Structure 1
């Protein structure tokens, strides 16, 4: 890594996002089984309206961590993305314990459907689960979220369909399948529009696939990005740089 040269202002990142990144590798240093025991359920959650200082729309997006955290970690994901699953099981739990649960970072989950034909419907399922659970039992969304990634097959995207996601929803405690189905039927179009906004914001930051991340200091306006699959050490280095900027 090239130290402080990897940090820029928000405006510069959006103007030339392809040149600003932390770390050099895009592969995990180690591979472990993606068991549900390693999935992360945040200690704190909240909803938010409006737009963040980076220009990310917040309404309706799952947010974990303290509302006044110094740094935002914007995470673009796709439930059909195998490297997203690796991030969820191998890296996110450590980020959660060391940065989200300490109040330093809040995680904003954004959609970037790009893997297969069911990527967009899967994103809508996730948004509707969050809408149903956010006010009363937000941790239920994270249980559903982890269970959805657990459904991934070893290869291919044919596993993702209506039956699979309905089954995950029905089997997740604290999530009401009927309410989620009502959301999909009556709010699906507006949610797809909001997902398109996420896609455009990610592309403006130079992201072309999943997983993709922007780390943004809300006080100093410093920002950097990580593209692709990285081990925890790369995230810790990047977050620390942005926190200190």
Structure 2
């Protein structure tokens, strides 16, 4: 199913100039932006991940490293993961808008699909084709075109998301993806074995 010209233009207008993000500084109101997380809120270690849906290294982490962290640390109650979206470009924001269009209990399923199929949707030559692929992922998650139209045309939500991202990234000194904080200490990307060692150290193991 193809997006109509109206749908495409609405989505493009929503994040026009997203690369520069003019006028969306840290002072922008960010009420209503839900923090997305996995694991026990009272876990002794908090792992914050800053990731962008168009970032290839983020996709590798999502598919090769995170499942092991989830199995050994998040699902066992040792670590809570806080996932923070980064918007260095328009498609990254579009993908986030689709992911957040669904109920929160479906968010991480869409995130997994966005990373697993990143080359398919993010590699499209035109923005129209990219949006069509994103809508396809949304439909597989149970969203209707009408629901996604409403989400993609919600400029106030887009501005709130961007402002929240800018606020957090500035506070944590994040300028690349993926970036991580382990109990507040900034870390770069690394193989699972190094993550495990740092998480164990934070746990006092």
Normalised by the length of structure 2, the TM-score is 0.73
Q: For residues 174 and 32 of structure 2, what CA distance do their matches in structure 1 show?
A: 18
CA change 1:195–1:244 in 2 (3 A) is: farther
Change (3 A) 1:106 1:191: farther
Q: Which stretches in structure 2 are left out of the alignment for 5+ residues?
A: 1-30
SS of the residue corresponding to residue 67 of structure 1 reads coil
Q: 1:185 to 1:240 in 2, by over 3 A?
A: same
Equivalenced residues, count: 171
1:189 corresponds in structure 2 to 156
Q: Cα distance, 1:196 vs. partner?
A: 2.5
Cα separation, 1, equivalents of 2:145 and 2:75: 29
Q: Which residue of 1 aligns with 2:133?
A: 164
Offset of residue 206 of structure 1 = 2.1
Distance 2:143 2:76 in 1: 27
* SS of equivalent to 2:90: coil
> Which of the residues 73, 78, 85 maps onto 2:59?
85
Deviations 1:36-79 (A, max 9, x none): xxxxxxxxxxxxxxxxxxxxx99512211112112211111111
Query: Which structure dedicates a bigger proportion of its chain to helix?
Result: 2
Gaps (5+ residues) in structure 1? 1-56, 217-222
Question: Is 1:74 aligned to 2:48, yes or no?
Answer: yes
Instruction: Give RMSD over aligned pairs.
Output: 2.5
From 114, 124, 134, the equivalent of 1:148 is 114
1:195–1:99 CA distance, 2 compared to 1 (3 A): farther
Normalising by the residue count of structure 1, what TM-score does the alignment of the two structures yield?
Answer: 0.62
Alignment of 1:199 with 2:166, yes or no, is yes
Q: Please say if residues 120 and 192 of structure 1, whose CA atoms lie closer than 8 Å, have aligned partners that are also in contact.
A: no
Superposed CA deviations along residues 221-242 of structure 1, whole A, max 9, x for unmatched, are xx31212x31111111121222
